[in-house]
Chains A and B, each alone.
Chain A
């Protein structure tokens, strides 16, 4: 059905639009103005209308871990959070390292998904870091990138081959940077709090050594690389310098790395356990600076649902990760826009335009002819995060009870309403 979104503040960075205007939707696409009769009118007065958000780093857990999340529940959470496209990581069971699993995910998402789902294939078979996955076949089946996320590609030689081989298919490579010998059994950031809590620490170098490695490999091969979830001041600096000398490196960070520190672990809160770990105040400030100066291209959630039985255990045994789809936009508004770090337009760039560009998917713009993927939100609405309200199957969030700004009112995917605030 035809729709007109009226009177909203349209922020469409791809077209340099930041003004009150109407958006016309027909046939699932953004179109030029048409006559109002027969159209459904969505009143967006006082609201922001932006290209639907794109999360380039989620774990939908299906196939294999449906007790944590499914494509249906994960995409419902995405829609509730204003995301119209998500790219899901391959650490499923079986691993998304072949065309059949990609096809399974795409089919399932087609039938049950509330938003667009773009599978990310594995770099190596079984994510074991030993043999390349069939990257050509993955791409043909619909995978938009490759990553062994959840674990690093430990061998520099394998990573180099992966970059070179994938360039033959123009397949973006996303690197989860973690040197396991430096992690050495660590479960949180190494620093005052790890000493205070008696928990094994993970040094910054565990991330930074591999970020450096991948920057060097990208520079040497000329193949772009995307660094997932950077969390330290050092990673930001390495990438900043690399970009300055023209290396084709891009990176993302997650809302928790600009809004929480390792102090959140005090009390052994397993919802503050993730990988990479929450870092220090100094890192948080450095990540914000990197978001501001463009070193950080994208904000992704690393949405990592886990069952309560995997979190309500000893800290050492607890699973890594938090759910993030339903808090990301609010945390971006609260910790970045309202704090004056970046503008709303820049936030939309990092939550929609840039990740779409990196993955080369049709999203992140309200250009005529583009898919009608739109988010409509109230940037000023104050709300209290309540995990019980999450559409996600899992509730593992450290933000429960947090006061945040920003509330999604509508999420429109392909011209249809995927979420509407009750």
Chain B
């Protein structure tokens, strides 16, 4: 397909055709990852900068490796130890990267909409690596890639997403992407962690985890940040684990071949038991590998976009 999109800010307005194109490219990239020598010259002479206002070694490393495998020049800026910490504003930072000739800016930010703001003011492509509570499109893409690998297709899949939906950009990106690709999404979470009108984003709200898991092809648990307890959103880790966590008993309600997924890092014993995390049907490790493939595909697509202009 002829790729015209400048930025990947989220999946809410990305078409099925575009998602399929990214997933197809990721399959090729995964093949490269399985080779003995992983380095290919696809992005030689291209530069990728990761601009992280929030710490996430995993996601940053995933992008960085993706870039390096494709021979792009990569550099990292994190909130500490750079002008960011000195209070330089976002647009000034972005413009600086732009005039340095950066092709792709991979951005992680604690504020929803920050990549949208940046993208309007830079020529470089902006890939959202997670913005506040809004979206984390590359995570949802790697989730979908993993589901396709295991299930063949997303159409008609029943996906249960459990836990802290309110704060979850992973959940939101999955709602959009999965709905676009024809899957059905069910959610269950403590009522205090269910955002208002979430059904309008294409998530079917269930009162209990059991209801959401019933007959599911995929069970995805979200990370629960334990400090939310202090703001009164739930009473304790143990009550959370009991009612909203995933264990062997609850898993029995899902299809026998249901996949267990988690965006990581896992709070063992809170959102899922250790037994579940290491379960034979857990694809948590493969999600991480697939993350590199998806990010290779995205960097390839976006860094080359300008060649075609």
Residues on A facing B (Cβ under 8 Å) = 184, 190-192, 194-201, 267-268, 309, 312-317
Once the chains bind, are B197 and A192 in contact (CB under 8 Å)? yes
CA distance A268 to B131 in the complex (A): 12
Once the chains bind, are B114 and A314 in contact (CB under 8 Å)? yes
Which segment, of B132-140, B207-215, B251-259, faces chain A? B132-140
CA distance A184 to B231 in the complex (A): 9
User: Shortest Cβ distance from A189 into chain B, in angstroms?
Assistant: 10
CA distance A316 to B131 in the complex (A): 11
Once the chains bind, are B198 and A317 in contact (CB under 8 Å)? no
Name the B residues within 8 Å of A312 (CB-CB): 89, 91, 117
Ordered by A's residue number, 15 sampled pairs between the chains whose C-beta atoms are within 8 Å are A184-B231, A195-B201, A196-B201, A197-B112, A198-B132, A199-B112, A199-B113, A199-B133, A268-B112, A313-B89, A314-B113, A314-B117, A315-B112, A315-B117, A316-B132
Once the chains bind, are A195 and B135 in contact (CB under 8 Å)? no
User: Shortest Cβ distance from B163 into chain A, in angstroms?
Assistant: 16
Once the chains bind, are B196 and A194 in contact (CB under 8 Å)? yes
Once the chains bind, are A268 and B195 in contact (CB under 8 Å)? no
Name the A residues within 8 Å of B90 (CB-CB): 313-314
Name the B residues within 8 Å of A194 (CB-CB): 195-196
Name the B residues within 8 Å of A317 (CB-CB): 111
Taken residue by residue from 105 to 121, chain B's Cβ proximity to chain A (1 for < 8 Å, 0 otherwise) reads as 00001111110110000
Once the chains bind, are A314 and B133 in contact (CB under 8 Å)? no
Contact of A268 among B12, B113, B133, B197 (CB under 8 A): B113
User: Shortest Cβ distance from B105 into chain A, in angstroms?
Assistant: 15
User: Shortest Cβ distance from B196 into chain A, in angstroms?
Assistant: 5
Once the chains bind, are A314 and B109 in contact (CB under 8 Å)? yes
Using known A-B contacts A195-B201, A268-B117, A314-B117, determine if residue A201 contacts B109 with beta carbons closer than 8 Å.
no
Name the A residues within 8 Å of B113 (CB-CB): 197-199, 268, 314-315
Contact of A195 among B109, B110, B196 (CB under 8 A): B196
Asked if B99 is at the interface of the complex by the 8 Å CB criterion, the answer is no
User: Shortest Cβ distance from A361 into chain B, in angstroms?
Assistant: 41
Asked if B223 is at the interface of the complex by the 8 Å CB criterion, the answer is no
Using known A-B contacts A316-B111, A317-B111, determine if residue A197 contacts B134 with beta carbons closer than 8 Å.
yes
CA distance A268 to B113 in the complex (A): 6
Asked if B1 is at the interface of the complex by the 8 Å CB criterion, the answer is no
Asked if B46 is at the interface of the complex by the 8 Å CB criterion, the answer is no
Q: Which among B111, B169, B231 has the highest number of chain A CB atoms within 10 Å?
A: B111
Once the chains bind, are B200 and A192 in contact (CB under 8 Å)? yes
The residue on B at minimum CB distance from A181 is: B232
User: Shortest Cβ distance from B6 into chain A, in angstroms?
Assistant: 15
The residue on B at minimum CB distance from A314 is: B111
CA distance A309 to B132 in the complex (A): 21
User: Shortest Cβ distance from B8 into chain A, in angstroms?
Assistant: 16
Once the chains bind, are A195 and B89 in contact (CB under 8 Å)? no
Extra contacts besides A198-B113, A268-B113, A316-B111 (9): CB < 8 Å: A184-B231, A195-B195, A195-B201, A198-B133, A312-B117, A313-B90, A313-B91, A315-B117, A316-B112
Once the chains bind, are A191 and B112 in contact (CB under 8 Å)? no
CA distance A192 to B198 in the complex (A): 7
Asked if B172 is at the interface of the complex by the 8 Å CB criterion, the answer is yes
Once the chains bind, are B116 and A198 in contact (CB under 8 Å)? no
Name the B residues within 8 Å of A190 (CB-CB): 196
User: Shortest Cβ distance from A416 into chain B, in angstroms?
Assistant: 43
The residue on B at minimum CB distance from A309 is: B89
CA distance A198 to B196 in the complex (A): 11
Once the chains bind, are B133 and A267 in contact (CB under 8 Å)? no
Using known A-B contacts A314-B109, A315-B111, determine if residue A198 contacts B89 with beta carbons closer than 8 Å.
no
CA distance A197 to B231 in the complex (A): 22
Across the A-B interface, the 7 shortest Cβ-Cβ residue pairs:
A198-B134, A268-B113, A314-B111, A198-B133, A192-B197, A198-B112, A195-B195
The residue on A at minimum CB distance from B91 is: A312
Name the B residues within 8 Å of A309 (CB-CB): 89
Taken residue by residue from 76 to 96, chain B's Cβ proximity to chain A (1 for < 8 Å, 0 otherwise) reads as 000000000000011100000
Name the B residues within 8 Å of A195 (CB-CB): 195-198, 200-201
CA distance A315 to B132 in the complex (A): 11
Name the A residues within 8 Å of B110 (CB-CB): 316
Once the chains bind, are B116 and A191 in contact (CB under 8 Å)? no
Name the A residues within 8 Å of B12 (CB-CB): 196
Contact of A198 among B91, B117, B169, B197 (CB under 8 A): B169
User: Shortest Cβ distance from A373 into chain B, in angstroms?
Assistant: 42
The residue on A at minimum CB distance from B114 is: A314
User: Shortest Cβ distance from A220 into chain B, in angstroms?
Assistant: 30
Once the chains bind, are A191 and B89 in contact (CB under 8 Å)? no
Name the A residues within 8 Å of B116 (CB-CB): 267-268
CA distance A147 to B72 in the complex (A): 58
Once the chains bind, are A198 and B172 in contact (CB under 8 Å)? yes
Name the A residues within 8 Å of B197 (CB-CB): 191-192, 195
The residue on A at minimum CB distance from B113 is: A268
The residue on B at minimum CB distance from A203 is: B196
